Amino acid sequence: MQSQSLPLVVIHYCTLCQWQLRAAWMAQELLSSLTDELFEVALRPGKGGVFEIWVDEHLVWERKRDGGFPGAKELKQKVRDVACPDKILGAHVERSSAPETPGETFAAPITPSAKTPADSAPNEPGTPE
C-alpha cells in the first residue's frame, strides 16, 4: 500500500445536476495519468451546483469561479502542478496544438469523400460502370 503522504484528490460534485458520470470520468483520467503520484481520488456527492476539485487543501478547480468544467488536459495539468510539479505528463497532454519547431507541420486529415477529376469522368465505352 502506498503512503498517506501522497496527495488526496477530492472531486465534489452536485448529484441534483447529475454530474456523477462527469466526476467519475475525471477521476479515471487522473488515475490513469498520475497513478503513482496520488494516494486516492475520491468522489464526494453534494448539492447546489457544486463542482470542485481539491488536491489536499488546494482548490484547483471550481466550476463557478473557473467558468465551467475543465477538459482532461487542463485538469491533469492543474492537479499535477499541485500534487507533483516535477512530473512530466505524456506528450499527448503536454504538447500544444501549435508546431514546436520551425518547419514542423501536422498533416491534415484525409477525407474519403473528396473526389478527384478522374472520379467524375465518364467510363470508356465497353467498361462496366
| pLDDT tens digits for range 44-90 | 999 999 999 999 999 999 999 999 999 999 999 999 999 999 888 87
| Backbone torsions φ then ψ of 62, nearest 5 degrees | -140, 120
C-alpha span between 44 and 28 (Å, rounded) = 15
Angle formed at CA 37 by CA 8 and CA 98, multiple of 5 degrees: 110
C-alpha span between 31 and 14 (Å, rounded) = 21
pLDDT band at 93 (very low <50, low <70, confident <90, very high): low
Domains of the chain: 8-94 (3.40.30.10)
C-alpha span between 7 and 99 (Å, rounded) = 34
Task: Tell me the average pLDDT across 25-34.
Answer: 96
Number of H helices, E strands in the chain: 5, 4
What's the mean pLDDT when you consider all of the chain?
Answer: 81
